[in-house]
Amino acid sequence: MSSPLKALIAAEYSGAQVRLLSTPPQFHFGQTNHTPELLHEFPAGKFPAFEGDDRFCVFESNTIAYYVSNEELWGSIPEAAAQVMQWVNFADTSTWVFPTLGIMHHNKQATENAKEEVRTFLVGERVTLADITVVLEPSFCQAFPNTNRWFLTCINQPQFQAKMAQFDAKKFAESQPKRDTPRKEKGSQEEKQQPQGERKEEKKAAAPAPKEEMDECERALAAEPKAKDPFAHLPKSTFVLDEFKCKYSKGDTLSVALPYFWEHFDKDGWSLWYSEYHFPEELTQTFMSCNLITGMFQRLNKLRKNAFASVILFGTNNSSSISGVWVFRGQELAFLLSPDWQVDYKLYTWRKLDPGSEEAQTLHVGKAFNQGKIFK
């Protein structure tokens, strides 16, 4: 579930008045969250963040949801409160949630019992903060019928519905298991003995099976316009990016991958770009800087077929910078082709490189290497 939704749904149950500022002009990610005013209130720079009318400030989605909820959502007795906290922690660390996020592989043994575990609600007989926090990205629910039932029960509560305009019915419908189609039984001995002509006539006479009525999710999916390929307008290129990625993954970079790249690169169908992180003075711990890079890569997952990048963290703690070289299909910055790809790119300055220049082929930053990340 999207992080701000936890607090908004909790507030819907408790009656707390919460106003969400997540779009310009009130909030512009990458700019507003770097202003001195916000960093004064939230030095960690983590979002979502909450500021009350009394200037009380707190961040982290689970903490905000807890603060705006009430005793009914916390659990009215110590035992119930402990179980609620158990499920809140479960949402962050369980073998159900990590595979959904792609952090670890699905553990069949660890999740098999989940098919029978979930009741109407996780704690007691009504919605608590446990349900609000644990409602999963639905792609991992499909193997667990009881989990699906619980998920649908939650999202159809009026308080969930009031705040879940962002819920992607298409994504949920895609995650649902296909209806089992009955296996064809092998023909009986008597049928086999029938002349072939008679069997064909019987098949023609059989009435067509009635079409199954689509459920709500399937109707929503059918109504969705098909997504267009942002690169469909570009002419076919002689440079096959997947072949270069294979050379890069399996061979030496300097002796195999780079010579292959420059030999086959199509400068008319692809472009090279140099990027630098726009706020190096805000980079502190190197592991946090690496998280900035990997987070951006994850959000650009659907761009992988048409892009490649080598992004490097230079320097040490409290004295570092981030630079990278990107390969994009076409002659423009690929981020402009889809709003989904525009979350991070404004945090960097971008400069187009001439593939025939010495700079593009021997780019030297002149800083101490710390570690690198590859987008492929």
Encode pLDDT of 242-282 as tens digits.
999 999 998 898 999 999 999 999 999 999 999 999 999 98
Domain edge (last residue) among 119, 148, 165: 165
Q: Could you tell me if 32 and 123 lie in one domain?
A: yes
> By C-alpha distance, which of 219, 226, 234, 303 is closest to 270?
234
Domain edge (last residue) among 102, 134, 165: 165
Domain total in the chain: 2
Q: Could you tell me if 159 and 251 lie in one domain?
A: no
Would you say residue 249 lies in a domain? Answer: yes
Tell me if residue 179 falls in helix, strand or coil.
coil
Would you say residue 219 lies in a domain? Answer: no
Q: Could you tell me if 159 and 270 lie in one domain?
A: no
**What CATH number should be reported for the domain holding residue 40?**
3.40.30.10
112 band by pLDDT with thresholds 50, 70 and 90: low
Query: Can you tell me the mean pLDDT for 301-311?
Result: 93
Q: Could you tell me if 49 and 157 lie in one domain?
A: yes
Domain edge (last residue) among 133, 165, 197: 165
**Per-residue pLDDT tens digits for 318-338:** 999 999 999 999 999 999 998
**Which residue do the tokens 């971008």 mark?**
350
Question: Which tokens is 166 given?
Answer: 């962002």
Q: Could you tell me if 148 and 261 lie in one domain?
A: no
Measured N-to-C along each axis, helices 3-14 and 61-68 cross at an angle, to the nearest 10 degrees, of 10
**What CATH number should be reported for the domain holding residue 355?**
3.30.70.1010
> Which residues form the domain of 352?
241-375
Would you say residue 132 lies in a domain? Answer: yes
Burial class (CB in 10 A: 0-12, 13-18, 19+), 324: buried
pLDDT of 26 higher than 90: no
Contact 272, 241 (CB under 8 A): no
Give the separation between CA 156 and CA 151, rounded to whole angstroms: 9
pTM (2 decimals)?
0.45
Contact 6, 64 (CB under 8 A): yes
Give the separation between CA 237 and CA 266, rounded to whole angstroms: 7
Residue 306, pLDDT score: 95
